[in-house]
Amino acid sequence: GAVVSQHPSWVICKSGTSVKIECRSLDFQATTMFWYRQFPKQSLMLMATSNEGSKATYEQGVEKDKFLINHASLTLSTLTVTSAHPEDSSFYICSASKGRSNQPQHFGDGTRLSIL
Amino acid sequence: AQSVTQPDIHITVSEGASLELRCNYSYGATPYLFWYVQSPGQGLQLLLKYFSGDTLVQGIKGFEAEFKRSQSSFNLRKPSVHWSDAAEYFCAVGPYNTDKLIFGTGTRLQVFP
């Protein structure tokens, strides 16, 4: 149980395009979803927390207009990287939880984003 | 401020040897504690978690971890490592009043045959 699917797993696109990444909880309702960014050989950096039906809460230093997050249902959250540039290239990982502090986060397999 | 420290960036062990990965946390109360494993190019898989009760917790893949309040530690152990255990291991702290996680910097485990 507690499976999180993230799609696509890998995307390459030209600079200036927008890229949407989906995160789905397949067998549970995810009240809260998290989006992380991970640089090579580094830890996860939390970008934002999204709760179903409300605006995402962004961490300090993360551009809201650059990284658009939507959490329209209890099983789906999307991250859109708008007008992507090479410096946005990274590994993006989502996770989902049932929204209570004693519930572990369950992670997707990540999306490797490469901007040319 | 809350923080997690994994002192060992990189550990190399021989297959069949025992393993201990260190994790220390800084938090005012007893936090929720987690160990995750990440294989290259993939997301994180939960190995085990500690919320309360028995301080020795068992996880998947033969891993266990012990919570020691006096040392603010939550070290991960495995008695006999397999080559497939080679991966990045992250310790994480979940403060009581939030479902966010604070991750350590990770420990990369290499296993030699």
Q: Provide the pLDDT for residue A100.
A: 66
pLDDT digits (tens, 9 = 90+) for B17-49: 999 999 999 887 778 899 999 998 888 999 999
pLDDT in tens, chain A (116 residues): 679 999 999 999 999 999 999 999 999 888 899 999 998 888 899 999 998 888 899 999 999 999 999 988 889 999 999 999 999 999 999 999 886 666 788 999 999 999 99
A27 contacts A2 by C-beta, under 8 angstroms? yes
Q: Provide the pLDDT for residue A66.
A: 96
Q: How confident is the model over B53-61, as a mean pLDDT?
A: 94
Cα angle A6, A9, A12; round to 5: 135
Task: Determine which of A23, A41, A43, A52 to mutate to test the interface with B (most B C-beta atoms within 10 Å).
Answer: A43
Q: Provide the pLDDT for residue B42.
A: 85
pLDDT digits (tens, 9 = 90+) for B68-99: 999 999 999 999 999 999 999 999 998 766 77
- Percent pLDDT > 70 in chain B is 98
The beta-carbon neighbor of B94 closest among A99, A101, A109 is A101
Q: Which amino acid is at B11?
A: I
Mean pLDDT of chain B: 92
Is A57 at the interface with chain B, CB within 8 A?
no
A47 contacts A59 by C-beta, under 8 angstroms? yes
Q: Provide the pLDDT for residue B30.
A: 72
Q: Which amino acid is at A90?
A: S
Test A107 with B90 for CB contact under 8 angstroms: no
User: CA-to-CA distance for A33 and A54, rounded, in angstroms?
Assistant: 12
Q: Which residues contact B50 (CB under 8 A, 6 or more apart)?
A: B32, B33, B34, B57, B65, B67, B74
> How close A69 comes to chain B (CA, Å)?
17
Using a CB-CB distance cutoff of 8 angstroms, which residues of chain B are in contact with residue A48?
Answer: none
The beta-carbon neighbor of B99 closest among A44, A97, A112 is A97
Q: Provide the pLDDT for residue B79.
A: 97
Test A107 with B36 for CB contact under 8 angstroms: yes
Task: Name the closest residue on chain B to residue A47, using Cα atoms.
Answer: B100
Test B99 with A108 for CB contact under 8 angstroms: no
The beta-carbon neighbor of B90 closest among A6, A43, A112 is A43
Test A110 with B49 for CB contact under 8 angstroms: no
Q: Provide the pLDDT for residue A102.
A: 67
Q: Which residues contact A35 (CB under 8 A, 6 or more apart)?
A: A23, A46, A47, A48, A50, A67, A69, A77, A79, A92, A93, A94
